[in-house]
Amino acid sequence: MKYRHIVLIVVLILLVDQILKFWIKTHMTIAEQFPVISDWFYIHFIENEGMAYGLKFGGEFGKIALTLFRLIAVVIGFFYMNKLVKEKYHNGLLICGALILAGAAGNLIDSMFYGLIFSESTRYELAQFMPAGGGYGTFLHGNVVDMLYFPLFDGTLPNWVPIWGGEHFIFFRPVFNIADAAISVGVITILLFQKRFLHKKTGATEPVSTARLDDTQKAM
């Protein structure tokens, strides 16, 4: 696999991620949802100030620190992926690295620019792209857009279940986005196949020398 293939994977995932986020921001209000497949897959619009799957990190300072960390990680990531390509690591590792890099870049774009280019999304008003009065935040203070919701189980747990028996339970509760999914798939796949992925490709078999070939023919 060549480095341009890594860049192509990253660009394609970023396009899908950002197109969906732009559509959500300009067509849905906060907490609005609609079913995609039966009762277990919804588009449900929320925003978060922190990490993947709605997790938060250290308030206002944490928000800036996390955004800067993402920026540094993405820049270093592109250089590191180029190094892995040159060293001919397994294509599976390179693809997973591209997924993780694309996911980090996707959420980074939200954090860096969405506060500048969108008005605030509320439960009653749609956000506007490039509003006349400016966006809802400043550089590095944008919220990450999430929308994928998979409540595969939504009900009451049996009483025999320890601790949570008899309580209402939803699985899978977190709402996430394409970028989060790309990171998760990349990381989980590397963990599952690390023995296969974390090595360089071996070179071609060394050609048999003419002298050895002649000796073999004489022995025959």
| Active-site amino acid positions | 146, 180
For residues 116 and 138, the answer to whether their CB atoms sit within 8 Å is yes
How far is Cα 57 from Cα 166, in angstroms, rounded to an integer? 32
> Could you tell me the two tokens for 128?
């506007």
> Could you tell me the two tokens for 125?
């008003």
For residues 20 and 177, the answer to whether their CB atoms sit within 8 Å is yes
> Could you tell me the two tokens for 24?
């959500």
How far is Cα 177 from Cα 109, in angstroms, rounded to an integer? 13
How far is Cα 42 from Cα 169, in angstroms, rounded to an integer? 17
H/E element, 175: none
Report helix, strand or coil for 118. strand
How far is Cα 151 from Cα 167, in angstroms, rounded to an integer? 16
How far is Cα 102 from Cα 8, in angstroms, rounded to an integer? 10
